[in-house]
Chains A and B, each alone.
Chain A
Amino acid sequence: MAKTVPKMLAARRATPHGDATWLVVTVNATPDVVTADQRLSDAVADLGTAVETRLTPAPGGRGTEIAARVQRTGTAGAPSANDLRLVLRQVKSQIETGEVVRPDPPTTGRRTPGGALVRAATRRAGGEGRL
């Protein structure tokens, strides 16, 4: 069991070729619109040189698939998968809607054990999950 779990987690992170996983979002815009949008190139540039991206037309006229991955895992300063997901989601929202919607601030500073768990979850939730 101790050996199996790390293997399973590694398998989830790896592509069939052993590379770092591509994280992908589909943007509801044509590839030429996405390519021309400065917000994508700026966001990728901000992530550093270790990030590789590719654009593919989505099937059925569903827009453009933006894929990104960290080329050299372990590189100093390379973004985490959480960072990468967050940026991909934000770029998608900016291209589609012109903004990234913000949640409302908490109404109170009162701390409860349950609230601490929720806050811990929401701190990471923008970049967690499946892409």
Chain B
Amino acid sequence: MKAVCWQGVNKLSTETVPDPEIRNDQDVIVKVGLSTTCGSDLHLIGGYIPAMEAGDVLGHEFLGEVVEVGPGVGRHKVGDRVVVASFIGCGRCWYCENDLWSLCDNTNTNPGITSVAYGYEPGGIFGYSHAMGGFRGSHAEYIRVPFADYGAFPVPPEVDDHSALFVSDSVPTGWMGADLGGVRPGDVVAVWGCGAVGQMAARAAILLGAERVFSIDRIPERLAMTERHIGSEVIDYSSTDVGAELREHTGGRGPDVCIEAVGMEAHSAGPHHVYDQVKQQLRLQSDRPTAVREAIHACRKGGTVFVLGVFGGLVDKFPLGAVINKGLTVRGAQQHGQRYIPMLLDRIAGGEISTRHLVTHELSLDEGAKGYELFKHKEDGCVRAVFDPSRVAGDPRATGVGRSGTGYA
């Protein structure tokens, strides 16, 4: 089958690789319908998470059709249209039973790597290096899904593929940031980043009752998209002082909840961006925490900062003094998708959450490297490049419902 493979730092290619097979009784094989690029993939591609091997298949946010079922699977049958949580949860360890699915004890096949790095290992994830389990990714024609009874969810007929795709990761990740960030009715919430996850975090904050939600970015198309499809107010950090703007809009208090949805390759307008960039390139720090710092400074006294962006290692100049002296709660997590996915599918079916607009570019698997170039450099208004294995390169069908103007809520 065809698959988009990592071949080395900043080198991708589309290869023919062996088809996946049932390796555990509780596996299913899914024929991939759509699979999207994600900002966290860029950390792998750029070599910031050095646990990839040439030939590893990328991709973790996908949906498709069940085509083979292991003998231990009870909830799925061949032909089911399913969206699959990007983190793999066994469903029966203490963490899964307590809805902390990305911390599953039983799905990271290489626990020694991350337990040394982090103290304890997180769960496994599709297409996210050998440090996170060594599972093949979804930018392929087929993918094996372990513990499918717990991680694969039927998609209601009224939800189309382009909408359901993002319930695999972006929507639950965003929802989790607002939910575990403790957003309550009447709150003011600020979200750093207008990518898919940031947009979904802002939408979640609105649906959880926040009175005002501010989304912060610098890309005009993303700011416009967030205003139009999410309904939050937007701040262009390249043209204003974000902290001052947030103080002005919150009566001088600062936001109650600040959600960082940017991650380890953050950009900023200030000189600290150059500082972080140099330190990261020299491997003196692994991650650039620019947006986290700004969120901590902007947050009101006693407020909450939720770190949704993916970070891999160590950062410099972390404002711990602000955390302590302002009495902040700082939380973070990889997504506990299984906790939210059925509810989110219902909300999409009910028209409360719109996701189709995120699909700005649709490509074939043969165009894997091109898709990531568009996505990484945000070229041509790219928010998400989505791979459709049924397409061929140069397919005359529309290339991205988010750009064609169709499918908007």
Contact = CB atoms under 8 A, between A and B. Distances in A.
Interface in A102-131: 102-108, 110, 112, 114-115, 118-119, 121-122, 124-130
Given A62-B94, A89-B111, A118-B130, A104 B136 contact: yes
A28 B93 contact: yes
B124 interface: yes
B136 A63 contact: no
A86 to B, nearest CB: 9
A101 interface: yes
A83 interface: no
Contacts of A107: 3, 5, 15, 17-18, 55-57, 136
Contacts of B54: 108, 110, 112, 114-115
B46 interface: no
Contacts of B113: 121-122, 125, 128-129
A96 B134 contact: no
Interface stretch (B102-110, B244-252, B267-275, B365-373): B102-110
A98 B146 CA distance: 13
A82 B317 CA distance: 37
A118 B115 contact: no
B52 to A, nearest CB: 7
A99 interface: yes
B111 to A, nearest CB: 5
A75 interface: no
Interface in A49-87: 62-63
A101 B110 contact: no
A103 B130 CA distance: 9
B5 A28 contact: no
B395 interface: no
A98 B72 contact: yes
A126 B111 CA distance: 6
Contacts of B109: 101-103, 125-126
B111 A98 contact: no
B149 to A, nearest CB: 10
A62 B147 CA distance: 22
Contacts of B10: none
B56 to A, nearest CB: 7
A129 B105 CA distance: 13
Given A126-B112, A129-B111, A106 B53 contact: yes
A30 interface: no
Nearest to B3: A107
Contacts of B90: 93, 96-97, 101
B110 A121 contact: yes
Contacts of A122: 110, 113, 130, 134
A112 B20 CA distance: 23
Contacts, number: 131
Contacts of B130: 103, 118, 121-122, 125
Contact of A96 (B24, B53, B106, B115): B106
Interface string B40-67: 0000000000111111110000000000
B8 to A, nearest CB: 7
Contact of A126 (B105, B110, B124): B110
A97 B123 CA distance: 14
Interface in B1-52: 3, 5, 8, 15, 17-18, 20, 23-26, 50-52
A100 B207 CA distance: 39
A119 B53 contact: yes
A110 B52 CA distance: 13
The 9 A-B pairs of least Cβ separation, nearest first, read: A128-B112, A129-B115, A108-B55, A103-B134, A125-B110, A125-B112, A107-B17, A129-B112, A115-B53
Given A104-B23, A125-B111, 15 more contacts: A26-B94, A93-B105, A96-B92, A97-B147, A100-B106, A101-B107, A103-B133, A105-B18, A107-B136, A114-B53, A119-B53, A121-B130, A126-B109, A126-B110, A129-B121
17 contacts: A92-B106, A97-B93, A97-B147, A102-B23, A103-B110, A103-B134, A106-B53, A107-B57, A114-B8, A118-B51, A119-B53, A121-B110, A121-B130, A125-B113, A126-B112, A128-B113, A128-B116
Interface of B: 3, 5, 8, 15, 17-18, 20, 23-26, 50-57, 72, 88, 90-94, 97, 105-107, 109-116, 119-121, 124, 130, 133-136, 144, 146-147
